[in-house]
Amino acid sequence: MKLRKILGIDIGGSGVKGAVIDTKKGRLITERYRIPTPQPATPEAVAKVLSKIVKHFKWKGPVGVGFPGVIQQGVARTAANVDNSWIDKDLNRLFSKATGCRVHAVNDADAAGMAEVKFGAGKGKKGTLMLITVGTGLGTVIFSNGNLVPNLEMGHILLHGADAELYATDAARKRLKLDWDTWAGRFNEYLLRIEELAWPDLIIIGGGASKKGEKFFPHLTTKAPVIPASLKNEAGIVGAAMVSKYYNKLEREEK
């Protein structure tokens, strides 16, 4: 069986979104379905949401899930913007049991990055590429000549003595009621610090804020060019499906 159609799900701080993906073309073949992230966002509560999404699509096949935290062999090691009870949970096992499907979890920013490099703004680009997803948090991904450095957590560097996510996210803009120009200055400060640490050749901006790029891109002063993610806020869903396809293929080959 060729794994071309896979259900991708992206767990965010404000919403859990899913769609069936054509993994060969890297695009949605159904409408995106969204359910607000439960509060508190405990493993059990979010697993129920995933089950609802699977039932919505009447899905029986493989599922890929992007999660906002470090994922090692399917196990969550951090849990930014959700709940600390996620830490050390086996997400592959939890979600597979809840949905009745074979589920593989991956860091959400890594998923978005893989989608953009294969199908989006990073396709065919050489050198060091950095994707930053801007929304409830700051997801960061680096590719060196097409090779992913997994679980990069540079959204949590310190700015003014605090976590950068408290200072430069789109959620911070909304929480503090900042106008776009003021927030752009904060985000630019974050990018300049990132550039000092990683020296990317290209910076791709994704996540929810990427839809409003015209409001802040003109204020950015990095040496590296900054461009919007072409898959926009759908990259995480597409990338999660890609990861599921990869692991399902690997498991079949090992049998």
Structure tokens at 189: 């400060």
Give residue-wise pLDDT tens across range 77-110: 998 778 899 999 999 999 999 999 999 999 999 9
Residues paired with residue 138 on neighbouring β-strands, in sequence order: 134
Strand order in the sheet with 147-149: 147-149, 138-144, 128-134, 202-206, 226-228
Whole-angstrom distance between the N-terminal and C-terminal Cα of the chain? Answer: 14
**Which residues, 6 or more positions from 242, have their beta carbon under 8 angstroms from its beta carbon?**
8, 21, 23, 26, 64, 111, 114, 115, 118
pLDDT at 207: 85
Are 75 and 89 in contact by the 8 Å Cβ rule? The answer is yes
User: Which CATH number applies to 5-110+234-254: 2.60.40.420, 3.90.380.10, 3.30.420.40, 3.40.640.10?
Assistant: 3.30.420.40
Domain ranges of the chain: 5-110+234-254, 124-230
- Please state, in angstroms and rounded to a whole number, the distance separating the CA atoms of residues 55 and 161: 45
Tell me the per-residue pLDDT of 17-55, one tens digit each, with 9 for 90 and over.
Answer: 999 999 999 999 999 999 999 999 999 999 999 999 999
Does the global pTM surpass 0.95?
A: no
- pLDDT of 11 reads 95
DSSP secondary structure string, 111-150?
Answer: HHHHHHHHHSTTTT--SEEEEEEESSSEEEEEEETTEEET
What is the per-residue pLDDT for 211? Answer: 86
Write the DSSP string, 171-237.
HHHHHHT--HHHHHHHHHHHHHHHHHHH--SEEEEESGGGGGGGGTGGG---SS-EEE-TTGGGHHH
Question: What is the tens place of the pLDDT at every residue in 134-145?
Answer: 988 899 999 998
Mean pLDDT, the chain, as a whole number?
A: 93
Q: Which residues contact 140 (CB under 8 A, 6 or more apart)?
A: 109, 130, 131, 132, 133, 152, 153, 154, 155, 194
Looking at the domain 124-230, which fold is it? Nucleotidyltransferase; domain 5 (3.30.420)
Stronger pLDDT, 174 or 255, i.e. the higher one: 174
Structure tokens at 94: 């939890």
- Given 3-state DSSP classes, what are the helix, strand and coil percentages for the chain, each rounded to the nearest 5? 40, 25, 35
Q: Which pLDDT score, from 0 to 100, does residue 255 have?
A: 63
Answer yes or no: same fold for 5-110+234-254 and 124-230: yes
Q: What is the pLDDT of residues 105-146, one digit of tens each?
A: 999 999 999 999 999 999 999 999 999 999 888 999 999 988
